[in-house]
Structure 1
Amino acid sequence: MAARFRVLLASAVLGAATLTASPASAAVTVTVDALAVGNSAPVAARPMTATAKVHASGTLAVQALTIAVRDSAGQVVDFPGAIATTLTTATKTFTTDARAYPAGTYTYFVAYEVGNVWTELTPRKTFTVAANPITFDQDFSGAAGAGPNTGLAAPAWFNDPCWHQACTGSIAEYKLDHAKLDGQGHLVLTADQNVTPGAMCGWKPGTDHGEEPDLPCRYATARLTMLDWEGNDGLPAWTQAGGHLEARMKAPLGKGLWPAFWTVGGNNAQVDWPASGEIDVMETLGDHPTLVEQHAHGGLEDINFGDSTPLPEGEGIDDWHTYAVDWDAGANGYIKWSIDGVVTRTLTAAAAGAAWAQSFRHPHTLILNLAVGGGDGWVGDPDADTVFPAQLVVDHVRAYQKPLA
């Protein structure tokens, strides 16, 4: 259809009426009653629709009704979703399919086709799409066996040894060498049983948690954080308040396996969790292969928002999926979770209450990990059917400055 739009009439008739397109429509005029794009502040890469309301002076069957768009160079970049319909004196509301546009200014208008001739309608309007810079982008290109910071201008990923907390598990040792590139454009976090001799990972049941764990590690795996705990007292290498955060990955199956892609407040070294804030873009449990966990933690008293989200029928966590959050960190903002571009749940500032200002208006940083066991019994330990080594495979991690949903 785009090719046919290139032969649109050179100019539109002024006023509400149309240019007569053909003898079949000579006695019928079409009027645009309303025309608007679906986002009052469009940003690059954020899909949006457009909606028009039209009516005709009589009955007119049209081959296609569309909302046409021209970029600053006059190139055709129409909204998709043109329809064949019959226009009458009753107002018809037409909404296009979604399209994302690069930054720039665009002209848009309603057009229809009768007898293979296109007619452009007035008014002509414009919308301006603001830039939406990519603020972090890693596609994990590099040689097999290279570390997770390969290709970055400065290190962003650090090992989180979890000296005093055992983090998300009490049986696994976190090691930077368990996160490596596979040479095929992926980062692979591997869980196995290659534990450092003498490594300790947890505390004996019923005992007070001292400064150092007193149980031997049973597994080795990777927990990559942008907080440099070992080298710089938890200073974050990268932070951002709001925006679009996504990772494309496939997760391993098996009881006791707990991969996650999540955020934590960049102030985590100074402000205790949960007040520092946490957004779980995705968590999966290896023995629940069709469910994705999407949660947020924040506030002086944890709001513990979220729940399980089922994947579409026939799909599992061991398939490739893009997991994302769109986060408006404003006073009246929101967090929207999505899987493969489909929004699955939303937390608004109003619903979060006081926790919003405490935990979700300041910059957060990123964590990627493959935990083994823990979760106070929620995850459980691996069983005889859990296969090691287990791998979380990551295709890319990307962040935009502004939300895309």
Structure 2
Amino acid sequence: MPTKHTAVIARHRRPFAARTKAGGLLLATAVLAGGALVQAAQAKASTAPIVVDSLSVSATPDGQLKATTRVHATKAIKVQALAVAARSAGGGAFDFPGAAPATLSTSPTTYTSGSRAFPAGTYTYFVSYKVHGSWYRLSPVNSFTTGGGSASTPSGTPTATASPSPTVPTPTPTPTPTPTSTATPTATASSSSSDAPLGVPGTWRNVFDDEFNGTGLDGSKWNPNWLGCSGCTTKPVNSGELSAYSPSQVSVSGGNLHLKAVQQSATVNGTTYPYVSGLVESNGKAQFTYGAFEARIYTPASGTQIANWPAFWTDGQNWPTDGEMDVMEGLGGSACYHFHSPAGGPGGCASGSYTGWHTYGAEWAPGSVTYYYDGKQVGRITTGITSAPMYLILNNAVSSTHGGPTQVPADMMVDYVKVWQH
């Protein structure tokens, strides 16, 4: 498969062979105690002072399931709703009913959901809450398996009052990454935070976080084109693309980053492209060696296929020597992942439809990269894994050769981008 690097001042060449892009997680709807539905639109990772002390599921006499959690806050906070959300292996929303308003304090509060039936399968579940009209999720993310009603293998119930972490530790210690001298990753969470990558085992500390809650792109973290001057429209990353990258197609509003693709001709270095679209990258501002990388992304759809060629990926300063990690890219309408290096570009595509909101993550460790979509492992690569620092890239490319069906205007939205390390 093609890569997305063209020569740019003798660096970052990315032939179309490896390129993957990511999506995000949708919290769906939760049922209020009074029976009314509340739209739990986009569930962001939490930065509020709320800690999950315990979380479990149990069967009711009629064979349905209910969830019980005990939480406390490091300072008093009033939430519009407290709930327990559940996700199927395919990313479907199966939230427990009974979301209700709550005032949390330093004293533990126990919340028990309503009960419901679950189709047979394996599910992840987590505590979520609503503040100022937005939904947020808390760690840990536990799991259970049901044969069609009652849970047969619920995951462990953490009892720590500070950063509960998944039960399986990462077997190989991960070296501390080496960010560039100009990198300014924002540590909005620390080793004591309950925030953690979705589905990735181990104990983590957050080293980069942008939840796009402002009114404009954070220039301390991102550049709004492909390695070009400020305000410039730049050529595509890959020769198979039909769109130039313009800062005019990058915006932040409604808690999301918007990368839009529109039909509008643009001429760059003597070549005219029929489309312009949005791209952001963190070169010169934040780069990392090893860690867990995650973004929640909305990919426009054409039927059940991902439209265009949206992607979430990382790249080093010398392609392919330094490597390229494609966390998710919409290749031919599917969500795919790869890792490019001088040894090649192995990877694969996840089964099912990944249009709309999904969460895409990758754990890059010495000798391996493991990929997680909606908290479920979808692939692992153990050959050609490099160790040079890489920076972050998100873009909404248009390509009739490599992407899915061309559809414009199209808005690729990003709820958050985060990086964690051990």
TM-score for the superposition, normalised by structure 1? 0.52
Match of 1:225 among 263, 281, 295: 281
Residue of structure 1 equivalent to 2:402:
378
Match of 1:306 among 340, 347, 359: 347
Distance 1:179 1:337 in 2: 27
Aligned length: 248
Distance 1:105 1:339 in 2: 21
Confirm or deny that 1:160 pairs with 2:226. Answer: yes
Change (3 A) 1:74 1:97: farther
Q: Which residue type is aligned with residue 364 of structure 1?
A: M
Match of 1:318 among 343, 348, 355: 355
Residue of structure 1 equivalent to 2:416:
396
Identity %: 26
Q: Secondary structure at the match of 2:248?
A: helix
Confirm or deny that 1:249 pairs with 2:283. Answer: no
Residue of structure 2 equivalent to 1:263:
314
8 Å CA contact 2:261–2:409 kept in 1: the answer is: yes
8 Å CA contact 2:265–2:272 kept in 1: the answer is: no
8 Å CA contact 1:247–1:398 kept in 2: the answer is: yes
Shift of 1:243: 1.1
For the aligned residues, what is the CA RMSD? 4.3
Change (3 A) 1:363 1:305: same
Shift of 1:190: 0.4
Confirm or deny that 1:189 pairs with 2:259. Answer: yes
Shift of 1:324: 0.4
Q: Which residue type is aligned with residue 287 of structure 2?
A: T
Distance 1:342 1:81 in 2: 11
Residue of structure 1 equivalent to 2:374:
340
Q: Give runs of aligned pairs for residues 2-401 of structure 1, distance below 5 A.
A: 97-98=155-156, 132-143=204-215, 146=216, 148-149=217-218, 154-160=220-226, 166-167=237-238, 169-181=240-252, 183-196=253-266, 199-200=267-268, 212=269, 214-227=270-283, 236-254=284-302, 257-265=308-316, 268=317, 271=318, 273-285=319-331, 288=333, 291-298=334-341, 300-302=342-344, 304-311=345-352, 316-328=353-365, 330=366, 333-348=367-382, 352=383, 355-356=384-385, 359=386, 361-373=387-399, 377-379=401-403, 386-401=406-421
Gaps of 5+ in 1: 1-44, 50-68, 84-93, 109-128, 201-211, 228-235
Distance 2:226 2:243 in 1: 12
Change (3 A) 1:346 1:76: farther
Gaps of 5+ in 2: 1-50, 56-69, 73-105, 111-139, 146-151, 168-193, 195-201, 229-233
Shift of 1:137: 0.8
Distance 1:364 1:293 in 2: 19
8 Å CA contact 1:338–1:344 kept in 2: the answer is: yes
8 Å CA contact 1:161–1:174 kept in 2: the answer is: no
Change (3 A) 1:96 1:76: farther
8 Å CA contact 2:371–2:378 kept in 1: the answer is: yes
Shift of 1:156: 2.7
Q: Which residue type is aligned with residue 194 of structure 1?
A: Q
Shift of 1:223: 2.0
Q: Which residue type is aligned with residue 398 of structure 1?
A: K
Q: Which residue type is aligned with residue 246 of structure 2?
A: K
Q: Secondary structure at the match of 1:159?
A: coil
Shift of 1:238: 0.5
Shift of 1:184: 1.2
Q: Secondary structure at the match of 1:217?
A: strand
Distance 2:307 2:142 in 1: 45
Distance 1:139 1:81 in 2: 26
Change (3 A) 1:219 1:79: closer
8 Å CA contact 1:161–1:173 kept in 2: the answer is: no
Q: Which residue type is aligned with residue 136 of structure 1?
A: F
Q: Secondary structure at the match of 1:388?
A: coil
Q: Which residue type is aligned with residue 237 of structure 1?
A: K
Shift of 1:195: 3.2
Shift of 1:241: 1.2
